[in-house]
Amino acid sequence: MTDDLRKAVEAVLPSVRADLDALIRIPSISADPGSAEVMRQSAETVANLFRAVGSPDVQILDDLEGGQPAVVAHYPAPPGQPTIVLYAHHDVQPTGDPDGWTSPPFEPTVRGGRLYGRGSSDDKAGIAVHLAALRAFDGKPPIGVTVFIEGEEEIGSPTLGPFLERHKDKIAGDVIVIADSGNYDVGIPTLTTSLRGLVDVYVEVRTLNHGVHSGQYGGAAPDALTALARILATLHDEDGNVAIEGLVTAKTPEVEYPEDRFRAESALADGVQLIGSGTLAERLWAKPTASVLALDTTRVADASNTLIPVARAKVSVRLAPGDDALRARKILAEHLANHAPWGAQVTVREGDAGEPFALEASGPAYDAMRAAFREGFGVDSVEMGMGGSIPFIAAYSANFPNAEILCVSAGADPDTRAHGLDESLLLADFEKAAISEALLLAKLAR
């Protein structure tokens, strides 16, 4: 059976690769305010792909104000069979400077066994893996399948709450596969067992009613950027540990992440030290982190010996499993407001919040997935945490507490550069992921 199914997946892979290329050509940047039309086109393309693989019931769900279109495709369960939900997202991050890419971000290009393009791995490969598994069964999987392709993952799933309230029944299942994580290393199938949460806060600091001459008034009147820098400096202690009181630290994960590997994979510049304390696995997966993501202030080219009156920053905090996003966001906002120097006026606006999650990596579907990975990759799978966030997971678990949740990769290895320039997908591992998922569907049939 394994061999037949492997051959069936291999036979459909060329067509799936062509479909993946077509998906990468659609610039489905959910964060772009002008993207409504292209997001719609992206959802329609996804919907048509699953319609063409035999789903009798494909819907585009886009009835929530401020949301992005999601796609749901049903393959009804044969009598007595369980239903599995296959999750991915069709929206992508902005490209950054397109000139910084070796080949244009929305032109799928293969170099050295990797498929380059925005969304190639995060997360259009996830859609393609699901497509491959279904196509290998000629659209008639042995168990019930519901494909759920979200359209707003990369903007923090702003309408997830109301979406689940309204459409929950459409994505019910006994098992869900979230194909949106990464593998521990090339060729190593990986079960992600924890993800961090994420909260954003915008802080604005004002010290002057308008800019004034830096020589005439500087020395006694503080500029806003220096005041903001002092606030931001309080996010960490001298060693780089997060110094915001009250955030949760989770229990230490068992996998080790060697420091030399981390240095290479994180693109750390020469001489730069690692920050924080504890093992790398602890720092990356079990502890909170604080980062300054952006500043609004005077550009260097526009500097004019003027004291800056007002400056803004976007501060991002990742949360360890076990923390509570809304509580943590409030703690962060208060920390920033309470650390203003020199009576500077500080306004804090709370941004997005997504919950962290620790997965219970056991049960019949986990057994089946481990066996499918062993056959699909030829090696045993490993378990690890992930520093990134997928807020949908905690929300799904809250709504379907009995569902087994599997969080896997569609072929993203550590050099995938998701969200960065030259994002790419390792095609060899993509193919193994597709074979593994088809095997999983077969193994779950009673």
**Residues with catalytic function:** 91, 153
Q: Which is nearer to ligand BES, 75 or 396 (CB)?
A: 396
Per-residue interface string for the shown chain with Mn ion, residues 164-203, x marking contact by CB under 5 A: ----------------x-----------------------
443 vs 376: CA distance, rounded Å? 13
Alpha-carbon gap, residue 93 to 65, rounded angstroms: 21
What letter does residue 283 receive in the DSSP assignment? I
* Of positions 154, 282, 423, 431, contacts ligand BES by CB under 6 A: 154
Stretch that binds ligand BES, among 70-78, 177-185, 287-295, 303-311 (CB under 6 A): 177-185
| Whole-number Å distance between alpha carbons of 229 and 235 | 10
Q: Out of 181, 289, 306, 424, name the contact with ligand BES by CB under 6 A.
A: 181
Q: Map residues 117-156 to x or -, x wherever contact with Mn ion holds by CB under 5 A.
A: -----xx---------------------------------
What is the x/- site pattern for ligand BES, positions 65-104, by CB under 6 A?
Answer: ----------------------------------------
* Spatial distance between the Cα atoms of 319 and 229, rounded to a whole number of angstroms: 23
DSSP conformational letter for 210: S
Q: Contact between 55 and ligand BES (CB under 6 A)? A: no
Strands 289-296 vs 310-319: parallel, antiparallel or unpaired: antiparallel
Q: Does 423 bind ligand BES (CB under 6 A)?
A: no
Q: Which stretch binds ligand BES (CB under 6 A): 74-82, 223-231, 278-286, 383-391?
A: 383-391
The two tokens of residue 201 are 């806060």
- Residue 180 interacts with ligand BES (CB under 6 A)? yes
Residue 174 interacting with ligand BES (CB under 6 A): no
Task: Quote the CA–CA distance of 353 and 242 in Å, as a whole number.
Answer: 18
User: Can you give the three-state secondary structure of 375-425, one letter per residue?
Assistant: HHHCCCCEEEEECCCCHHHHHHHHHCCCCEEEEEECCCCCCCCCCCCCCEE
Q: Which residues lie closer than 8 Å to 285 by C-beta, 6 or more apart?
A: 194, 196, 250, 253, 320, 384, 385, 386, 387
Selected binder of ligand BES within 69, 173, 391, 411 (CB under 6 A): 391
How many residues of this chain bind ligand BES (CB under 6 A)?
Answer: 16
For 81-100, the DSSP string reads --EEEEEEE--B---S-GGG
Q: Give me the residues that bind ligand BES (CB under 6 A), please.
A: 122-123, 153-154, 156, 180-182, 198, 354, 386, 388-391, 418
The contact set with Mn ion (CB under 5 A) reads 122-123, 180
